Structure 1
Amino acid sequence: LTKTAAAFAFWAPKMFQDYKDHLEPLFEKTPGLKINFANSIFPTATFNLGPRTVSLDHLDSANVAAGFCPIFCAGSFDSKKGGHLILYDLKKIIEFPPGATILVPSSTMRHGNTPIQPGEERMSFTQCCAGGLIRWVKYGYRSGITLQETAAGRAFKAKVDGNPDIRWKEAIAKFSKLSEVQADRQAVFS
């Protein structure tokens, strides 16, 4: 695994396994799809080459809700004065120096970063998984729109989607608690 994918597996083993359970069959069944990077679990990557990349307060709502987005920061800037990561919902501002990587649940936690000083450069590289890829596999390699076209398709989609009052609890359960992460690692990787 890449260091980023390994960090994801280490801190979120149940979530990592869920990605693996859905993405490996997708790539096996669809030979035209190519993995961006060997040994990475993340199927999507974005290069923000700046030279003064600033991300405003946002959610990446198309990403997997129970998922992480690794953000890698690069450039030449004073991280004491700018380029901080802002986690708006947590009301936290984190120093985010060049060379650092953080995992953020980008579809459910508002995030952005502060500007940098004049003459400095900041870039970022992010990876993620679109929720639509997971749904595509769960829906039997069909879109939700296609399933809506027939009564049988609608029934299948409803069954796969499950009860929304339960689905959000299942999503939250994929996030390992610090007190349980060691047991989660053993359960997933043993």
Structure 2
Amino acid sequence: TWFPEVAAFYQDVEKELAADGIDLKSVFGPGAAAFNLPFAAHTLNLGPVVCCFLHRDSQNWPQGICPTMVVGKFDHTRSGHFIMEEPKVALEFKSGDIMLFLSSLITHGNAPLAPGEVRMSWTCWMAGGLVRWLAAG
């Protein structure tokens, strides 16, 4: 993994929740362990025209890495750019690309699509509320 401490922390959160009798059910079914993903939450934006205004994900754990993958039929050189406000960056984000970033700390969004284009996304994240709930005992 690229972020071993974050992944270990996420796995510890899941174990602590299970020890408290809270079983996080996978939305992907019984074979989900094959994904080997330590994230407690996933968001599927199925569009077909997914376009996000600039925002921060305030419900995410602030230190948490948030991978986002986009898929669809769009010209990544002309539309759908991934925008990060604070570093003043707009990235060409083609279908199948995955971005790893701190979604609760960096204001982000994407540029509109051209007419007839399709764009969807899958985002994985850790709810800050779960971390705070465990920390509060």
Whole-angstrom distance in 1 between the partners of 2:19 and 2:73:
40
Matched, 1:71 2:59: no
1:33 Cα deviation after fit: 2.5
TM-score with structure 1 setting the length: 0.65
Whole-angstrom distance in 2 between the partners of 1:98 and 1:28:
39
What is the aligned-residue identity percentage?
40
Q: Is contact 2:17–2:23 with CA below 8 Å preserved after alignment?
A: no
1:21 Cα deviation after fit: 2.1
Give, as a single letter, the amino acid of the residue that structure 2 aligns with 1:80: T
1:86 is matched with 83
2:124 aligned counterpart, secondary structure:
strand
Cα distance per residue 1:133-177 (max 9 Å; x no partner): 01111222xxxxxxxxxxxxxxxxxxxxxxxxxxxxxxxxxxxxx
More strand by share: 2
Matched, 1:35 2:32: no
Q: What value does the CA root-mean-square deviation take over the aligned residues?
A: 1.4
Matched, 1:135 2:132: yes
1:25 aligned counterpart, secondary structure:
helix
The within-5 A match list for 1:39-118 is 39-118=36-115
Distance 1:13 1:33, change over 3 A: closer
2:72 aligned counterpart, secondary structure:
strand
Whole-angstrom distance in 2 between the partners of 1:139 and 1:23:
16
Distance 1:92 1:19, change over 3 A: same
Cα distance per residue 1:65-95 (max 9 Å; x no partner): 1011110101101101111100111100111
TM-score with structure 2 setting the length: 0.88
For structure 1, the residue ranges without an aligned partner over 5 or more in a row are 1-8, 141-190
2:15 is matched with 24
Whole-angstrom distance in 1 between the partners of 2:20 and 2:37:
18
Instruction: Pick 1 or 2: higher relative contact order, CA cutoff 8 A, min separation 6.
Output: 2
Q: Is contact 1:23–1:134 with CA below 8 Å preserved after alignment?
A: no
1:57 Cα deviation after fit: 0.3
Q: Is contact 2:14–2:24 with CA below 8 Å preserved after alignment?
A: no
1:186 is matched with none
Structure number with bigger Rg: 1
1:17 Cα deviation after fit: 2.0
Q: Is contact 2:69–2:96 with CA below 8 Å preserved after alignment?
A: yes
More helix by share: 1
Moved over 4 A (4+): none
Matched, 1:124 2:115: no
Give, as a single letter, the amino acid of the residue that structure 2 aligns with 1:84: H
